Structure 1
Amino acid sequence: MANVVILVLIIGLASGWLYLLTTLAPSIEKEKEVVLQFPNSLAELKEIAETLKTYYEKNYVYVLLLFCSAYLYKQSFMIPGSALLNLLAGALFGSMLALPIVCILTAIGASVCFLISKNFGKEILEKYFPNQILSLQRKVQSNSHRLLYFLLFLRIFPVTPNWFINVASPIAGVPLHLFFLTVLVGLLPYNLVCVQAGEVLTSLTTLSDLLSPSMLLTLSLGATLFLVPTIISRDRHEHGS
């Protein structure tokens, strides 16, 4: 019961902070007032991006703080739609600045999700996802001597959904420092594609435009590069044993 109260308090404080930031938005003259909220479509994203660009010209610190807070909120509480925020980052900051911002925020937010799961979600996950948890535990144990490469491969080539890896990793025995590092590096190719697409946001018509053949090829090649050291490490381990 105490854990539930603490978790509700954490969510409440985070939600209150985000709401407070939206009420502090600078006043601007627009024909159509845009409500600052999480975008659910490309059309909403384009409207919000236009508004935030105007804010950015007047108060870039506010826009950066609002964006970082919103991104961490989504990542920490597993709210879908981070791809839209990656696009927004590219549109607002340009890919050179947006890429390190979203990579760091992704790693921090996923780590917060990791800690929430570790402290509040173990019983729920083991109740509703017992087979998936057991499968990941076995994979972590069998890849313990090459865990860094294994986790990177999972991130770059996401056969297992990222949200599940985030919540299941602490239960499967993944150390937090390796978790943070592999999120930071492993999602870099995907984040790069998103922020670059955000720079030309107006030309996007659907989110499926992100999953172009060139992007899929890039991600596949990246996953393969991380798989090679894993294969080499496995061979050495087998020959050495």
Structure 2
Amino acid sequence: MRSLVGLVAVVVSASLYLYSLSLYLPAGPRRRPHSATDKEHLDSESEKLQPPDSAEETSRLKFPSDLEELRELAELLQFYKTEHTGYVLLLFCSAYLYKQSFAIPGSSFLNILAGAIFGPYQGLLLACALTTVGSTMCYLLSQAFGKRYIVNLFPNKVSMLQRKVEENQDSLFFFLLFLRFFPMTPNWFLNMSAPIVNIPITFFFCSVFIGLLPYNFICVQTGVMLSEVSSLDDLFSWERLLQLLAIACMALLPGALIRHYSQRRLRLDVQSQNGLITDKKVQ
């Protein structure tokens, strides 16, 4: 009971912090005319330059559930980032860690948002760092508060993962990489169950950073393209086609190397039935 109360206290505290942060949305950036010509030009575009009502802005600060909401949120945060980079960065990092720490689905939308707001390089660095830190926080929360509840809720899946971890102790790090590249179990479940099946936190931390790098790269590049593409002609340009080719190589090459290694060294279940893994082993 004490662990449940502690977990609820952590969730409530984090939720209040994130909500309070969204309420302190700073004033939107405005251009100041320096001459009569500039003033006339700005007057003609005043509707575009003036930010919407603050209450409306706050209502738009929510986790996106589809691409339309994602595009609207990206436009809003890009608008504020011009003069309030620190606030946008703090808000994005806080929201990302909130999702990852409490195993809330939908991190792919935030990875895409990272690419749209921060660009390909900063966006990828942020996505990888936040994914790793957030997953590690989920690991620590599960270790401190959730072991008994997770075992009671998912007894079969926990026992199956425990058995596979024990079978692959000699190559545990590569086994964890395999699970990230070819998830036999959802990432959120692996984050929560890792401390229960005695996966060392150092192995866990490094495997998340490396194993989810291709996935984060794809999502961030998707966000970059969504923020830059305005027509089908832009999408099918040579530059975009080369970007898509690079994304495909980034996604396929590490997975192929891990699969090649796993076929020789790991003992894995490779067939699934009714959401559970059957007992076929790869030597």
**TM-score range relative to shorter protein:** 0.7 to 0.9
CA positional deviation for 1:78: 1.0
Q: Does 1:164 align with 2:189?
A: yes
**Counterpart amino acid of residue 123 in structure 1:** R
Q: 1:70 to 1:137 in 2, by over 3 A?
A: same
Once the two structures are aligned, what percentage of the paired residues are identical?
Answer: 46
**Conserved 8 A contact 1:150-1:227:** no
In the TM superposition, what is the alpha-carbon distance from 1:69 to its structure 2 partner? 0.3
CA distances 1:130-178 after superposition (whole Å, capped 9, x unpaired): 1111111111111111111110111011222111111111111111111
The match for 1:13 is 13
1:38 equivalent among 63, 68, 71:
63
Query: Do the aligned residues in 2 keep the contact of 1:149 with 1:227 (CA within 8 Å)?
Result: no
Moved more, 27-36 or 10-19: 27-36
Displacement of 1:13 in angstroms is 1.4
Q: What does residue 4 of structure 2 align with?
A: 4
CA distance in 1, matches of 2:250, 2:189: 23
8 A contact 1:76–1:110 mirrored in 2: yes
Compare the two structures and name the one with the higher helix fraction: 1
Alignment partner of 1:104 out of 121, 129, 134: 129
Structure 2: distance between partners of 1:16 and 1:120: 20
CA RMSD of aligned residues (A): 2.3
User: Aligned pairs, how many?
Assistant: 229
- Counterpart residue number, 2:146: 121
2:68, 2:116 → 1: CA distance?
A: 14
Residues 67-122 of structure 1, C-alpha deviations (whole Å, 9 max, x = no match): 00000000001111101100110000001111111101001111111111122211
Q: Report deviation, 1:228.
A: 3.2
Q: Is the 8 A contact 1:150 1:230 kept in 2?
A: yes
Query: Which of residues 210, 218, 223 in structure 2 aligns to 1:185?
Result: 210
Is 1:138 aligned to 2:163, yes or no? Answer: yes
Q: 1:75 aligns with which of 91, 100, 121?
A: 100
Displacement of 1:128: 2.0
Paired position in structure 2 for 1:227: 259
Residue pair 1:146, 1:230 contacting (<8 A) in 2 also: no
* 8 Å CA contact retained: 2:171, 2:265: yes
Distance 1:3 1:234, change over 3 A: closer
C-alpha displacement of 1:30: 3.0
Quote the Cα distance in structure 2 between the aligned partners of 1:170 and 1:102.
23
Rounded Cα–Cα distance in structure 2 between residues aligned with 1:185 and 1:16? 32
Q: CA deviation at 1:191?
A: 0.2
TM-score by length of 2: 0.75
> TM-score w.r.t. structure 1 length?
0.87
SS in 1 for 2:196: helix
SS in 1 for 2:199: coil
Q: List, as ranges, runs of 4+ consecutive aligned residues in structure 1 with deviation greater than 6 Å.
A: 212-217
C-alpha distance in 1 between matches for 2:83 and 2:213? 30
**Runs of 5+ in structure 2 lacking a partner?**
29-49, 231-243, 268-283
Contact 2:3/2:146 (8 A) holds in 1: no
Equivalent in the alignment of 1:22:
22
Q: Which moved more, 1:129-138 or 1:184-193?
A: 129-138
Q: Secondary structure at the match of 2:195?
A: helix
Of 126, 142, 153, the match for 2:178 = 153
2: distance between equivalents of 1:216 and 1:10? 39
* Offset at residue 31 of structure 1 (A): 5.0
SS of corresponding position for 1:25: coil
**CA distance, structure 1, for counterparts of residue 67 and residue 266 of structure 2:** 44
SS of equivalent residue, structure 1 residue 200: helix
* Equivalent residue, structure 2, for 1:207: none
Deviation at 1:234, TM superposition (A): 5.7
